[in-house]
Amino acid sequence: MENPQRSTNFRHFLTRYEIFGQGGCTFPKYRLVILCLGLLNAVLLITAVAIGIKCAKVKEASLQVPHSAATELINELNYLSSNYSDVIEAEKEAKKALEAANKNHEQLKLQIEQQKTINDGYQRQMEALRTEKTNLQTNISALEGTCGKCLPGWVLLNTSCYFFSYSESRTVKKYWPDSREDCISRGADLVVIDNQEEQAFVSNSIQNKVTSSRWWENGFWIGVTDIETEGEWIWINNVTEVEQRYWIDGEPNNQGPRGEHCGVAVYRSSNPWKTRFDGGCHAYLLHWICEMPPS
């Protein structure tokens, strides 16, 4: 684009040239042209310098605003860069924490499953126990309804009722055959001791039923005898007695001129398990024990 100022100056120069030429200038023509070109170059140089200064000012002004924005951006980038490592470390720590939490979660899940299995087992056992309890209660009710109870003065143990003559009279005593007849008259018979629990029950029951200072007179007739065959002790239910540990040491000994063929139970504090001896069936007057099922 042509500079208006330069065009005006050039026309003004030409006008002066023409005036000098026409007016008969004394300088030769080529010197005039050289002078005019020199002046023109000076004008162009001044104009170029002015334009350069102007452009520099415009460029400086144009860079000021972006420079401040760039500085702010660079500062922000530097801040983010300085915190980037912290963020990475925090991310790593968070990842580790998450992995640990997941691991704990799996372990808790496994423990919960195991506990659930155990609880299910307990629940099944409880249900089985409830069922068993119900059955037992039903059986007890049935037994109570069918078996009844013991008569007054009799003692219940499991499925038998026991009568101790001492409880009815401390003074009335009988021989072995008469004692059995009394039991039969009551709908029972002399006691048959056929297990350890019953042995302990009889021994404990007669412990305090003392009527004499002579230990053997505190005995009770029981339903065992060797009348048929000496030394072969048979219970009244036809069961052979094979247990030897309940006899007092040295018993049975079959003493006396007529022998001793009927069994007696007596409490001995020295050894409560050794409670039996053989007595004369028609020689000793003793208390007795009857046994029968509940009525």
CB–CB of 279/173 below 8 Å? no
CA 72 to chain centre: 62
CATH number of 155-292: 3.10.100.10
| Domain chopping of the chain, boundaries | 1-147, 155-292
Q: Does the CA dihedral 229-232-236-237 come out positive or negative?
A: negative
What pLDDT, in 10s, does the model give residues 237-286? 999 998 899 999 999 999 988 899 999 999 988 888 999 999 999 999 99
**pTM passes above 0.85:** no
Dihedral sign, CA of 180, 184, 187, 189?
positive
Handedness of CA 190, 193, 194, 197 (dihedral sign): positive
CA distance 180 to 184: 6
* Per-residue pLDDT reduced to its tens digit, 46-100: 766 666 676 566 555 554 545 677 687 777 767 666 666 776 777 788 788 888 8
What is residue 254's predicted lDDT score, i.e. its pLDDT? 93
**The residue count for the chain:** 295
Work out whether the CA dihedral 209, 214, 215, 216 comes out positive or negative: negative
**Higher pLDDT residue, 270 or 187?**
187
* pLDDT of 200 over the 70 cut: yes
